[in-house]
Amino acid sequence: MANYHVGFNPETNQIYAGTVNKKGDKWVNNSEVTEECLLAVRDHFLRIAEKEQIPEVGYRWEFSDGMDIALKIHINKPEEKSNESNGEN
């Protein structure tokens, strides 16, 4: 089975997916998949939110130095957008 990975390149600010060599230190074949990756994460979170019937869902990473990072989506339904633009909330 191929050694398949997903990685981020800080020089290009893009996400790549593909295979790496057996040693695991060099890409053998890869493709830029930033947009597809973001859409897949969005759809993953959306599916959870729909299943749980909640307007917000996310994921949090906690680090040993006390820092944490949260990635969230909030779903604004059309009626909520209308109320927000009217100054209601």
Tens-place pLDDT, residues 6-58? 999 999 999 999 999 888 888 899 999 999 999 999 999 999 999 999 999 99
Alpha-carbon gap, residue 61 to 71, rounded angstroms: 9
Query: How many angstroms separate the Cα of 29 from the Cα of each of 11, 18, 24, 35?
Result: 18, 5, 12, 19
The SS3 call for residue 55 is coil
Task: Check pLDDT > 80 for residue 83.
Answer: no
User: Within 10 Å of residue 57's Cβ, how many Cβ atoms?
Assistant: 19
pLDDT tens, 44-72?
999 999 999 999 999 999 999 999 999 99
